[in-house]
Amino acid sequence: MKIQHLKTLVELTQNNFHVSDTAKKLHTSQPAISKHIKILEEELGIQLFNRQGKSLLSLTPVGKKVHNIAKDICKNLTDIEFIVAQEIQPKIGVLNVATNHTQLKYILPDVILQFTKKFPNVTINFLQGTPQQLSDWLHNDQCDFAIITENTFLHESTLTFPCYKWHHSIILPSNHELTKLSSISLEHISKYPLITYNFGFNDTSILERSFFEQKLIPNIILTAGDTDIIKTYVKNGLGIGIIADMAYNSDRELVKICGKNLFPFSTTKIAIKKSSFVKDFTFYFIELFNSKLNKNLVQKLIYTGNQSDIDSMFDNRTLDVK
């Protein structure tokens, strides 16, 4: 049994059983991918995939078990490569960070600037996505860590470290009738079309829960992953915007109303996979993001701690507010 055959199994599963996409990822041909799977199944004497004609549909029950072990083997091999590379060239490599548009544009610029001064030969690769995507990328080892604001979609393999709190704000066109009120409520807001993040409303989100608790049904007319898109459509008169307060810059066409009294605070966290190998420059980036998360503490908790240990160490009331 060859390692390459196991890598093919793992990549095929990760690419939703698309042979062409897997071939591109592994820099090989589609016939080579098919050959690897054929050899692996012949060596094991079992069928790993459910098929329809020549197409792969899913893993068989035993295929799922083999895949889980193969995935761990491939991950361990990658960790070995990282350890050796860090020993030989500790300041060269790639840092993969999963996050969203708001963090990348409004919070991370200073962190990135400081990081690149110390590690000019490290390439930073940002993956932007929804909370579900961030969680999946981390779980599938496609990023070193994720910066998240929603715990909803986290896998059991994930540990989260609280970093800071933030709140939502309401943005309105400068001539909107609600700007004439001395204060506004969720009932006021619910009467107008709303524009917010595409992950802002789900069964467990802070926004959804806030309206639900007051027996109000919000009229979500548009969602987007980019704050600038939300601002654009608010300016165009499509509706009222709900955004992260940190993402608002003074704008003559818009009025911002603080949402502290309308919605609970949200918490931004660093998410890392349990027992994962973390490079020294990754620890440095994390500490720049939150000075309380030093290498010794994070490394110890990744290997020996659990989420309750972390939660007991970080009092949400003492977190900085941004």
Beta bridge partners of 224: 197
Same domain, 100 and 249: no
Tell me which residue of 139, 160, 158 sits closest to 149, measured CA to CA: 160
Question: What's the total number of domains in the chain?
Answer: 3
Which 8-state DSSP code applies to residue 157? T
d(CA 170, CA 195): 10
Name the one residue in this structure whose structure tokens are 């926004």: 207
- Range(s) of the domain holding residue 55: 3-86
Residue 309 and residue 276 in one domain:
yes
pLDDT of 283-316, one tens digit each? 999 999 999 999 999 988 988 878 888 888 887 7
Q: Which pLDDT band holds residue 78 (cuts at 50, 70, 90)?
A: confident
**Are residues 66 and 78 located together in one domain of the fold?**
yes
Tokens of 219: 């009229």
Domain shared by 142 and 272, yes or no: yes
- At 138-192, the pLDDT tens digits run 988 899 999 998 776 788 889 999 999 999 999 999 999 999 998 999 999 999 9
For residue 309, the model assigns a pLDDT of 85
User: Do 62 and 8 fall into the same domain?
Assistant: yes
What does pLDDT average to over the chain? 89
Q: The domain that contains 196 carries what CATH number? A: 3.40.190.10
Residue range 247-272, pLDDT digits in tens: 998 889 999 999 999 999 999 999 99
Looking at per-residue pLDDT, the higher value among 85 and 44 belongs to 44
pLDDT above 90 (res 225) = no
Are 249 and 298 within one domain? no
Q: For residue 242, is pLDDT > 90?
A: yes
Sign of the C-alpha dihedral computed for residues 74, 300, 125 and 118 taken in this order: negative
**pLDDT at residue 155, as a whole number:** 83
